[in-house]
Amino acid sequence: MGILVRFAGEDVEHARSLAHRLDDCPPILVDRSTATVIDGAHRVLAAKILGRTTIPVRYFTGTREEAFVEAVKANVSHGKPLTLGEREAAAKKLLEMHGDWSNRLIAHVCGLSDKTVGKLRATTAEVPQSTARVGRDGRHRPVDTRLLRNEIATALRAEPGAKPEDLARTLSTSPSTVRDVRKRLQNGDDPARRAPRRAAPTPLHLAASEPPVDWSTDKAILSLPGGTGFAEWLAQTRVDSSHWEDHLSEIPLGRIPQLIADAKTRSAEWNSFAAALEERFKHLSRRRA
């Protein structure tokens, strides 16, 4: 019996398709202590369809929780991918088991975006609260960064000549954070209060970025020859992360290089469009000056 990470259980049609290439498939992964199939339930079913009584196996040694993590990671990355609902259910279970794991770490395991995991964390009552979270690099970081920065400040006051790299390793942070706290202490500033980020200068004195414009109602655009079609094109080509983040882990391995190339080509076209508009803006501005 496999680790339960799927709602619908085994897919017989998928198993039949595997039967034709079973000898090319990797060994199944089995929990050594319980003989539970962690990854490969469909390969087992395919072997049964072929009338086989044996199948290559790799053994896993670890806890039940660790086996669940392996099952999720395996079924996100290859074979018959988990559905969005199954990945979100897995993320909720991981939040309950490892409330101290960061959103990014759980997102990495489950093939979701960290924003999606954050929403699940906020709406899952069973998630235990913690003051620190484990990141993808295995380091513990406080949820409230002010606590960390005060801790760094205390260490620097006790040992002013400490190397940022050494303190960073001890306190599970980055050398740049240590340097920033040291600089703030030297300037007499509050080490727990990060300096506000400067807004990037707006090119060509254009207005600062506003919420997406509904070009289908913009009279200036609609009044142009072909303006209606141009407005429709702008609406159809608008993209934000909600359009792609939940599909990211479902894309077949063989299509990833093609999609990367296509995305870069589209990005280059948009950059060319923006550059051409900037050039026209400069030209018109010089004429008016």
* 91 vs 181: CA distance, rounded Å: 35
- Per-residue pLDDT, 238: 77
Backbone angles phi, psi at 141, to 5 degrees: -130, 140
Length of the chain: 289
Contact 102, 141 (CB under 8 A): yes
Q: What is the pLDDT of residue 209?
A: 46
- Residue 204 region, left (φ>0) first, then alpha (ψ -120 to 50), else beta? left
The ranges assigned to domains in the chain are 12-134, 144-186, 210-288
- Helix/strand/coil percentages in the chain, nearest 5: 55, 5, 35
**CA nearest to 66, candidates 42, 41, 40, 101:** 101
pLDDT at residue 237, as a whole number: 81
CA distance 28 to 74: 11
Q: What does the pLDDT profile of the chain (289 residues) look like in tens digits?
A: 445 677 667 788 888 988 989 998 889 999 998 888 988 889 999 999 999 999 999 999 988 888 898 888 888 766 677 888 888 999 999 988 887 788 888 888 888 888 888 888 888 756 655 555 555 555 656 556 777 788 888 989 999 888 988 887 777 677 888 888 898 888 888 887 655 555 555 555 555 445 567 777 888 888 888 888 888 788 778 776 666 766 776 777 777 878 888 888 888 888 888 888 888 888 888 777 6
What does the pLDDT read at residue 141? 61
Give the list of residues 6+ apart from residue 32 with CB closer than 8 angstroms, or none. Answer: 59, 60, 61
Q: Report whether 139 contacts 171 (CB < 8 A).
A: no
pLDDT for 46 equals 93
Q: How many Cα atoms are found within 13 Å in the side-chain-facing hemisphere of 139?
A: 12
Q: Are 226 and 97 in contact (CB under 8 A)?
A: no
Element spanning 142, H or E: strand 140-142
Please name the amino acid found at residue 237: T
Neighbours of 215 (CB within 10 A): 18
